[in-house]
């Protein structure tokens, strides 16, 4: 019989498995209140403003009191990444492609609304109830497609990665990255002009030609929805091709 793995204490609390205190007054703090306070700070100041001391001050306790619920800032970030996610979109009779398009766009928009999540979501694996609900809904949308469970998880991972990458590019080029601001880059066109000025046509013939042709103009700051849809359609087309291939294999067909 396999031994049950022990979860980190913060993950136990994220699932509502708070230790029950039978004696004494009921604690006025809990992980949800601490996490909500940390998210408020991150929304206002970014992750740089989130510290155990700052969170403790916001909830009105000494910093040492927080360590009963979160053992480190890393634990706090794990809880924040989960609590900051709203509930995933509902299927509402959509096909798998329609649902995953909405799922990926909503995921990307959350990251645009809360750019601090870009520093957390990609580095903390989903372990809490909210983020795992997102994964569950993505897998459920692929029921009946002929993909196995591993392939469904890979689909969800690829779409999550796309949402993260697109949101990071939009945030950086739209002024969220101080290095871009320092270089005077306020959009995709500025970025293209900078690259055109530094690329050696002999070493980078294709990229240099693309930048000099003005390929970055028109989709200002990567905020143009067409760019996002273009990339998303490429991924969904690939998933659709995989589903067709699995259907052919299931019927004894071949390529």
Task: Determine the pLDDT at residue 24.
Answer: 43
Query: How many Cα neighbours within 13 Å face the side chain of 131?
Result: 21
This prediction has a pTM of 0.84
Q: How far apart are CA 168 and CA 64, in angstroms?
A: 34
Q: How far apart are CA 69 and CA 219, in angstroms?
A: 45
Task: Determine the pLDDT at residue 219.
Answer: 52
Task: Determine the pLDDT at residue 76.
Answer: 94
Task: Determine the pLDDT at residue 18.
Answer: 65
Q: CB within 8 A of 151, min separation 6: which ones?
A: 242
Q: CB within 8 A of 118, min separation 6: which ones?
A: 111, 164, 167, 168, 171
Q: How far apart are CA 184 and CA 73, in angstroms?
A: 34
Phi-psi region of 150 (alpha: psi -120 to 50; beta: other; left: phi over 0): alpha
Taken in order 47, 53, 57, 60, the sign of the CA dihedral is positive
Per-residue pLDDT of the chain (255 residues; tens, 9 = 90+): 455 666 788 888 988 876 655 554 456 789 999 999 999 999 999 999 999 999 999 999 999 999 989 999 999 999 999 999 999 999 989 999 999 999 999 999 999 999 999 988 777 778 899 999 999 999 999 999 999 999 999 999 999 999 999 999 888 776 556 666 666 666 667 777 888 888 888 999 999 898 888 777 655 544 568 889 999 999 999 999 999 999 998 765 554
Nearest by Cα to 114 from 167, 189, 183, 152? 167
Domains of the chain, each with CATH number or no CATH: 9-83 (1.10.10.60), 96-176+224-250 (no CATH)
């Amino acid at each position: 019989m396999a031994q049950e793995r022990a979860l980190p204490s913060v993950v136990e609390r994220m699932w509502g498995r708070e230790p029950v205190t039978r004696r004494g007054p009921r604690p006025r703090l809990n992980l949800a209140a601490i996490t909500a306070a940390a998210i408020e700070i991150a929304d206002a100041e970014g992750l740089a403003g989130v510290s155990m001391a700052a969170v403790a001050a916001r909830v009105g306790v000494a910093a040492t009191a927080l360590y009963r619920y979160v053992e480190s800032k890393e634990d706090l970030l794990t809880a924040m990444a989960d609590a900051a996610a709203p509930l995933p979109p509902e299927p509402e009779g959509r096909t798998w492609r329609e649902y995953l398009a909405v799922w990926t766009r909503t995921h990307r928009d959350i990251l645009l609304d809360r750019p601090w999540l870009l520093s957390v979501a990609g580095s903390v694996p989903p372990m809490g109830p909210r983020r795992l609900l997102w994964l569950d809904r993505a897998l459920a949308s692929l029921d009946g497609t002929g993909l196995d469970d591993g392939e469904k998880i890979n689909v969800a991972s690829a779409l999550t990665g796309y949402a993260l990458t697109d949101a990071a590019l939009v945030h950086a080029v739209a002024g969220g990255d101080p290095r871009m601001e320092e270089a005077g880059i306020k959009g995709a066109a500025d970025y293209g002009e900078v690259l055109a000025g530094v690329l050696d046509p002999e070493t980078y013939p294709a990229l240099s030609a693309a930048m000099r042709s003005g390929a970055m103009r028109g989709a200002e700051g990567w905020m143009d929805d067409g760019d996002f849809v273009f990339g998303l359609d490429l991924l969904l087309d690939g998933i659709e091709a995989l589903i067709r291939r699995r259907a052919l294999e299931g019927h004894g067909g071949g390529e």
